[in-house]
Amino acid sequence: MGQGVDTKEKILQTALSAFSRHGYEGARMEKIATEIGINKASLYFHFSGKEEIFRVLFRRVVEKYEVELERIFSNTENLPIKERLLQICRDYLTYHYQNPEMDFWNLVYYLPPELMKSEILEATNKSKNDLIKGLSEILAQGIHSKVIQELPLEPMAMSLYYLLTCISLSTEILDQKTYLSGMASCFEIYWNGIKADLVD
């Protein structure tokens, strides 16, 4: 039983890498089997096919991401507004950088396979809305405490969301220090645009 579980997990991890590199259409069951050291027929003992493997991986990545997003927001609750937003950005991007699952996430977010497009868009839109909602709540607190200007909440939250998502696409080309340093510089410009006049 243990060996079967190990094989199933190896299939998922190898498929995750294949989907991340080649997309859904480009990933080949034969290559996944060869890389693990089993024959193609053995894959079908554990999964009905490529679509099931993809769905299992997608659900796993989404669930893990949702737990992490909740942790990121809850761990910063006691920080001042600016420091909280900056720490959320750091933690969010560090998670992207350190988790290879997020390469898979980015690919399916921007290039979802047609047969699962509606399901994927529903899940990714929910994750987007959850992040924007969390950022909006913090920005609203900042307006209430007069550290942020009374600007429309949604554009402020969306601006920070797109700053994060664009930088998160750089994990393959930047080292982590440069990646986070670039974010901090962008965040400072963002903050200077929304902070109240008398706030540093």
Domain holding 37: CATH number?
1.10.10.60
Question: What would the pLDDT profile of 26-64 be if each residue is shown by its tens digit?
Answer: 999 999 999 999 988 888 899 999 999 999 999 999 999
Residue 135's pLDDT is 98
Same domain membership, residue 63 and residue 39:
no
Tally of structural domains, the chain: 2
Provide the residue range defining the domain that includes 14. Answer: 1-47
Same domain membership, residue 119 and residue 38:
no
Residue 5's pLDDT is 59
Same domain membership, residue 69 and residue 42:
no
Domain holding 91: CATH number?
1.10.357.10
Q: Which amino acid is at 124?
A: T
Is 121 a member of any domain? yes
Same domain membership, residue 79 and residue 18:
no
Same domain membership, residue 63 and residue 7:
no
Is 52 a member of any domain? no
Same domain membership, residue 181 and residue 108:
yes
Same domain membership, residue 134 and residue 80:
yes
4 pLDDT more than 70: no
Question: What would the pLDDT profile of 148-189 be if each residue is shown by its tens digit?
Answer: 999 999 999 999 999 999 998 888 788 889 999 999 999 999
Is 156 a member of any domain? yes
Is 148 a member of any domain? yes
Same domain membership, residue 106 and residue 16:
no
Question: What would the pLDDT profile of 62-110 be if each residue is shown by its tens digit?
Answer: 999 999 999 999 999 999 999 999 999 999 999 999 998 888 988 888 8
Is 53 a member of any domain? no
Residue 106's pLDDT is 86
147 pLDDT more than 90: yes
